[in-house]
Chains A and B, each alone.
Chain A
Amino acid sequence: SQQGEEDPQALSIQEGENATMNCSYKTSINNLQWYRQNSGRGLVHLILIRSNEREKHSGRLRVTLDTSKKSSSLLITASRAADTASYFCANAVQGAQKLVFGQGTRLTINP
């Protein structure tokens, strides 16, 4: 299977704390993307990092990419209750249109 892994599988923190999720993938990539899914809904694209980038910021999101280790991390700073959701990384395999999604991290922010 090409599916990567994410850890932790579940994370529960207090509002205001930072949340870090990690993702590993198996193949060479063009880019790596992070998506968010609220319970029972579709996914929403959050941020994309290209294979030649090492770090990227968007608002309270910070993504890093280490292609030598085939890993990425997503940091959400100053978490809010509304950030409660599942977060998936997805890598774009070189030469393919499709994305390969990780197993996801279920994040719970406690008020």
Chain B
Amino acid sequence: GAVVSQHPSWVICKSGTSVKIECRSLDFQATTMFWYRQFPKQSLMLMATSNEGSKATYEQGVEKDKFLINHASLTLSTLTVTSAHPEDSSFYICSASRVFAGVKNIQYFGAGTRLSVL
């Protein structure tokens, strides 16, 4: 159980276009989802926390108009990179949390999306 699907796994786009990444919890309801960015050989950098039915909470330094997050249902959150530029090229990973054995912050991760902006 606790499967998170992330799509697409890989995307190449031209500079100036927008890219949407989907994150779905397949077998559980996720009231909270998280979006991370990861550079090669580095740790995960939290971009934003997404709660179903409310606005996402962005981390300091993350442009909310650049990275649009929508969490319209308990099983789906989307990240849209607007007007992408080469510096946005990165590995983006989503996760979803649920309550398990009384613990509410174990996170279940998608497989990640590698974005390359030409």
A interface residues (Cβ-Cβ under 8 A, vs B): 3, 30-31, 33, 35, 40-45, 48, 50, 88, 90, 92, 97-99, 101-104, 106
* B78 contacts the other chain (CB 8 A): no
B74 at the binding interface (Cβ < 8 Å) = no
> Which B1-58 residues sit within 8 Å CB-CB of chain A?
4, 6, 32, 34, 41-44, 46, 49
Report if B108 contacts A (CB, 8 A). yes
Other contacts beyond A3-B43, A98-B49, A99-B46: 13, CB < 8 A: A31-B103, A31-B105, A35-B109, A42-B110, A43-B93, A44-B109, A88-B43, A92-B105, A97-B49, A98-B34, A99-B105, A102-B43, A104-B43
Which of A42, A44, A45, A99 has the most B CB atoms < 10 Å from its CB? A42
- Chain B: residues with Cβ within 8 Å of the partner, total of 25
- Are B44 and A88 in contact, with the CB atoms below 8 A? yes
Find residues 62-111 in chain B having any chain A CB closer than 8 Å to their own CB. Answer: 91, 93, 95, 97, 103-111
Residue of B nearest to A96 (CB): B105
CB pair B112–A97 under 8 Å, yes or no, is no
- Is the beta-carbon distance between A43 and B41 smaller than 8 angstroms? no
Chain B residues near A44: list those with CB within 8 A: 109
Q: Are the CB atoms of A43 and B106 closer together than 8 Å?
A: no
Q: Which residue of the partner chain A has the closest CB to B109?
A: A42
Determine if A30 and B105 form an interchain contact, defined as CB atoms under 8 angstroms apart: yes
